[in-house]
Chains A and B, each alone.
Chain A
Amino acid sequence: MTDPAIDPAAFARLVEMTGGELDFVDELVDTYLEDGAAQVTALRAAAATGDIEGLVRPAHSLKSSSLNVGALGLGELGRQLEEAARTGAVPRPADWVERVAAGFDDVQRELLDQRARRTSD
């Protein structure tokens, strides 16, 4: 089995950081999902026009916030894309971006599932 989209220990750290305030964690997750969707859109737009430099900032933002919500796999993917975009060497950028988008979808699904599980407890 592959690594989970959300690393439980990293997510627990986020909860701990907020002082265990789950409402606030939900708020943060919503913000993350909104930001993330916007970043994916920005990545797609840049890839479509072949604007490699335009990939850097959204990849960077997605990376740092993903790491904070415990999405370590997506964070790493974002880091690699950011780094590649900085050097200008992104072969087939659209494929890259779609991998990131798929990763974001997994993370989103997992985060929302977790919330649903928690609230139904």
Chain B
Amino acid sequence: MAPPDGRTEPGRILVVDDTAFNRQLLARLLKGLGHEPVEAGDGRAALERLRQADAPPIDVILLDILMPVMDGYETLAALAADPALRHLPVIVITGVDELDSVVRCLEMGAADYLPKSVDPAILQARIASSLARKRLHDAEREAVERQAATNEVLAIMSRSAFDREVVLGAIVRAAVRLCRADYGVAYILDGDAFRVVASAGGNPELDTWERDHPIRPGRDTLVGRVALIGAPLGVDDVLADPDYAPTEGTRAGGYRTLLGVPIQQDGTVSGVLALTRNEVRGFTAADRALAVGFGEQAAIAVANVRLLETIERQRSQLARFLSPQVANLVSSAEGEALLAGHRREITAMFCDLRNFTTFSETAEPEEVLGFLRRYHATVGGLVVEHEGTLEHFAGDGIMVFFNDPSLQADHAARAARMALAIRERFIEISEDWRRRGHVLQVGIGIATGYATMGRIGFEGRYDYGGVGNAIILASRLSSEAAAGEILIAQRTYAAIDGQVPALSVGDRKLKGFSRPMPVYSVGADGAGASADEARELAVEEAS
């Protein structure tokens, strides 16, 4: 700690003695040794000075014992009871005949003692050792504070990663506190100017001014200079700097000393963290190193927010093309594995329109498109409502899965309920056309079974889809369905287990399937085969 010439670094020493003679003598000696003495006539005056928030901090206390108002013992007790002051080294000044009191003072927390007939060399040595102790304590406390501030910023970064203002606000607050600044601002490049995103400290007038005045790169401001050079920069006194152009903000804020560090993304300055002090007191190398650290945290925060915004934008863009389930899957952690292909039991629903070909040949193309738009919007809304995965819209045909990629225990019943909802809503949207003689109706097929699900297609054009018997069966049942009919396969009927009414419509021979299959119709009245029978049949079919 001590410079090579043997003199210690200067400290601010509080001399507490009721005798003016002693105070003057000690003060003079301390000055001669390069320290800055501060005098107090008794313990109470000393405590008042120590607790004065705006006074420069004291490093070491020289304390007389016998004093009026508040003596040395009371002062030591008061210091020990105050968490903000108990670390301050106290050197007790005592007469040679007061060794008993020395012991008592040391027991009460005094660091050292000095005889009253002071020898300058001894005084210097004792002060130096106490100063070293104080500096070590300060360094420790600073390290702990720095760690705590970093942890706090990290916690806020993980909690509010999306909120740039909140994260930068936490960083600026920590920087102002730890670098002992009066005001701090995080500017972020927006177009061609740097704008305030977060600030801490400072008077409201200054803050309003800074927020209303974006800064462009240039020599006339600190932020502008940091933007130009892309490196930390300090201005010890703005009023003495020939290039610096004081603004109304400078006048309102009354700041004199500045420090700016860049917030960089891939080598380009995307922002500046600026700190100001209202007195002319340059930021130290340690302050600068701290500020650079906060600038780096700010850069990470800004990058995180951008990344998250990009992902969110992609997800919402994607959601316009894909079903929300598939869009989420694409941007989720397990997405890649699921897209690569997996086998799962699903319920597939096919829906297409009867008489659509005739309708599209006779109606105007605009009318056909208008109708399709309404039809797709209606069905699309119902798919979202029932949380189905839309596989495709192709003209009048629509295919939806359930239980993939999101798991749904009631996938078969969901599909059946959605089919009923589609049929019901379709009556409303086709009413106009019915009056004009176009009888449009939906035919729906639903089947349940294992399928291999995942990415289907080729580089540049992939779909999320499935391959499996259930999908083919659903498509065949949809073709088989009469106008307004919802046909479901055996396994779907068993899985629905009476939650949605359905009845048997007998066995049907379906294209591509060698033997006739039992088929059920949803939403029809009357009782078909019981659920138990159906389940037995399903087990038979699966085996």
A interface with B by C-beta (< 8 Å): 13-14, 17-19, 24, 27-28, 31-32, 34-35, 56-57, 60-61, 63-65, 67-69, 79, 83
Contact = CB atoms under 8 A, between A and B. Distances in A.
A67 B98 CA distance: 14
Nearest to B20: A31
Given A31-B21, A31-B24, A35-B21, A79 B97 contact: yes
A82 B117 CA distance: 18
A60 B22 CA distance: 12
A10 B19 CA distance: 19
B29 A17 contact: yes
Contacts of B21: 28, 31-32, 35, 65, 68-69
B116 interface: yes
A66 B462 CA distance: 100
Interface in B72-131: 95, 97, 116-120
A28 B20 CA distance: 9
17 contacts: A17-B25, A17-B119, A17-B120, A18-B28, A19-B32, A27-B24, A28-B21, A34-B20, A61-B18, A61-B19, A64-B19, A64-B22, A67-B95, A67-B116, A68-B21, A68-B22, A79-B97
A17 B20 CA distance: 17
Contacts of A19: 32
B345 to A, nearest CB: 96
B66 A57 contact: yes
B interface SS class: loop
Interface in B14-70: 18-22, 24-25, 28-29, 32, 66-68
Nearest to A56: B66
Most buried by A among B29, B66, B68: B66
A7 to B, nearest CB: 12
A20 B28 CA distance: 12
A14 to B, nearest CB: 8
Contacts, number: 56
A67 B32 CA distance: 21
A19 B34 CA distance: 13
A64 B24 contact: no
B138 to A, nearest CB: 30
Nearest to A21: B28
Q: Enumerate the 8 nearest inter-chain pairs by beta-carbon distance, A residue then B residue, closest first.
A: A65-B21, A32-B21, A31-B21, A64-B116, A60-B66, A61-B19, A31-B20, A35-B21
Interface size class of B (residues with CB under 8 A): 20 to 34
Given A17-B29, A61-B19, A64-B116, A28 B24 contact: yes
B28 A67 contact: no
Interface centre among B19, B22, B24 (most CB of A within 10 A): B19
Given A28-B25, A35-B20, A67 B117 contact: yes
A81 to B, nearest CB: 13
A32 B24 CA distance: 10
Interface of B: 18-22, 24-25, 28-29, 32, 66-68, 95, 97, 116-120
Contacts of A57: 18, 66-68
Given A64-B22, A79-B97, A83-B97, 12 more contacts: A17-B118, A27-B24, A28-B28, A35-B19, A60-B95, A61-B19, A61-B66, A64-B116, A65-B19, A65-B22, A67-B117, A68-B21
Contacts of B117: 13, 67-68
Given A35-B21, A63-B95, A67-B116, A24 B68 contact: no
Nearest to B18: A61
Nearest to A14: B25
Contacts of B19: 35, 61, 64-65
Contacts of A79: 95, 97
A65 to B, nearest CB: 4
Nearest to A69: B21
A70 to B, nearest CB: 10
B501 to A, nearest CB: 104
B91 to A, nearest CB: 16
A63 B22 CA distance: 11
Contacts of A17: 25, 29, 118-120
A30 B252 CA distance: 48
A34 B19 CA distance: 10
Nearest to A63: B95
B506 to A, nearest CB: 118
A76 to B, nearest CB: 10
Contacts of A14: 25
A63 B94 CA distance: 12
A100 to B, nearest CB: 16
A56 B66 CA distance: 9
A68 B68 contact: no
A35 B21 CA distance: 7
Contact of A64 (B28, B95, B120): B95
Contacts of B18: 57, 61
A79 B24 CA distance: 22
Contacts of A64: 19, 22, 95, 116
A17 B121 CA distance: 10
A64 to B, nearest CB: 5
B74 to A, nearest CB: 14
A90 B525 CA distance: 121
Nearest to A13: B117
Contact of B28 (A24, A34, A35): A24
Nearest to A18: B28
